[in-house]
Structure 1
Amino acid sequence: MRLTLYTLLVVCSLFCVAATATSGENHAVAVKYVIRSLGSDIGTVSAKTIGTARDNEFRADVNVNVRFLFLKFSLTSSETASIRGGKLVRYHKTIDNKGRRREIRGESSGGIFSMLVRDGTRSEQKKFPVTGYVTTNMEYPEVTLTPGEVRRMRIVDLENAEIVDREYRHVSEEQTEINGQNCRVIVSDFADKNSAGRRWTAIVSGLPIVVRQEGKEKTGLFNPAYAVRQTGVAVDR
């Protein structure tokens, strides 16, 4: 039975296109999350973005620990990414599960986004022309949706190392206070062949952060619904 909760790490990808930036100044935004699934809190996420909306460095660390009578599962993961000019140029992720290690690397160069996936002793390399997709799931176009807009695009699903057709749908907008700032929150739905969910994304000091996400992965044999919510934000202004 394959538990695919590690795929929800995409909620920690706090990047977007340049249109969301309120200034070109560098900022650092650190966010902590709790992951809930199967009726219990099962893990935590610590994420940090440093830079601007167009040029930044990102890191996320995840710990998942599930202990039920019918299921025991633990996982740790580290993820880093570099955004330049509003586009993902480097990506690295490691996932460790009971001694089994999965590693994903990606780099954009010369009009090609190259990926290398190592799963235990197996490895696979893939190359995607940048003309064959619009964005990756590390960049969040929903923050530029207009009210009622539905946007369909081809994206690179980094977790599964493939290009998929994803639909984004604007649901509503809210206001919330985060770290003393009154922030706009975009509520949107997303769906592709591997995952679907609803995300609440706020713009804090020019950088988007995921406030909350609910969804369900579609890969693997065991795919429980999950919810991720922000429990703390620290902003270096």
Structure 2
Amino acid sequence: MSDHTGEFISFEDAKNFLGIPLDFMQALITSGLLGYTKEGMLFRHCVEDFQRYGTQWNEALGERSAHHVYNNLPMIEGEAQPVGTTIQVRIAPGNGSLSRSEKDTGWIAQFYIKPNSFFFLDSTVSTLVSPIGIRISSRQQIPGMPKPTYLCPDPQGALAMIMILGQLSGSAEKAFPTAYDIAAPLFDELSFTYDQPLPIAHVVLIGIPSGTIYLSFPKPPPIGSIEPGSIILPKCPFPELEDATSLYREAISSNNPFH
């Protein structure tokens, strides 16, 4: 954690400022969605940032990494998982939150378009280098959605994340497809309407009230080596398979394992 200073605010005052119930507040504190705590207090600017953006974009918070996960994915019948396979992991930032997660009653799902290194960014996925081409002045709730759904900007006023809130029935891991089934059509509509690429950089799901963080990682591809003397063909030697190899490249280059 990098040093950063600012005015402090108590948990109770922050809860009242945000106008949220206690269980929601507990999840925000434990997961880091309100930044770090210090002596039972929160930084006021972090609380205000969550209200504006639904997350934290302050680089002074530093990076929280889960890189070790990529090198320690479980095996299936003695073989490495194939490329495109996803695995879900749980991170319990607070003491005992992993055991408390079994009592969670709700969830927060966040689909990041702009990579956020404070929320365990997967460094293997494709992301936009240029700013996202959809502007949004403030966090907005989308009417008519099956669950409360918000479009969230970054500090530069560009669409950066979609946030969905839901009630939990069963394990939190099962909330991933529910959240995705809500987010994906909305991403499709935004991409089509504004003619913008919107790759999902990473997805974070947080249990309420435990604050346990759930991540879904794609299996990274193995390292390939082009050795001296390796035969590199200019294109697929079988004309009837050229379209198939092209489709394979497009699919494996996508963040979406369904492709």
Which structure's residues are more often helix, by fraction?
2
Which TM-score bucket, shorter chain as reference? under 0.3
Q: What TM-score do you get using the length of structure 2 for normalisation?
A: 0.26
Which structure's residues are more often strand, by fraction?
1
Q: What TM-score do you get using the length of structure 1 for normalisation?
A: 0.28
Q: Which has the higher contact order (CA 8 A, sep 6+)?
A: 2
